[in-house]
Amino acid sequence: MKVKLFVIMLCLVVARTLTAQNQVSLLEIDKVKEYLTLNDKQYKTINTMVVQIKGILEEDKKIISGLRERFKNGDEPGFFEKIKVKMARDSRASKINDLLEEIENQLSKTQKIKYKDMNKPALKALSKKELIE
């Protein structure tokens, strides 16, 4: 009985790993074009949106790395600065979500089904623990 349970668990882990490896990231636009079979017009439109998303993500990385440096140096931001950083991050996350919706609106029904299975970038809520590490 334990062996059967172990084999089932192993199969689930292996299957999960294989599907995770096969997923396409939205940021890899050439793979996206192939995976969703985009036409040229869709590709151009979606590519510009993906470039915007990459820019937002890079901007966020720079801001977070700057905050991490400040934490390492013992310079913790004040209360109002923390609120400002949180609001700015929420704004960037909202922009990314809007762009993701615009991308989805460019797709046909069959492409939308595949799009739902793709890895999409997102900004999660920022915690102090993440800044310290």
- How confident is the model over 3-16, as pLDDT tens digits? 665 556 555 655 55
Judged by phi (left if over 0) then psi (alpha if -120 to 50, else beta), residue 127 lies in beta
What's the average model confidence in pLDDT over 3-31? 65
pLDDT at 6: 55
User: For 17-54, b where at least 16 C-beta lie within 10 A, e where not — what string?
Assistant: eeeeeeebebbebeebbebbebeeebbeebeebbeebe
User: Residue 121 burial (CB < 10 Å; 0-12/13-18/19+)?
Assistant: middle
Q: What is the mean pLDDT of the chain?
A: 82
Using one digit for the tens of pLDDT, what is the confidence trace for 98-133?
Answer: 999 999 999 999 999 999 999 999 887 776 666 555
The reported pTM is 0.75
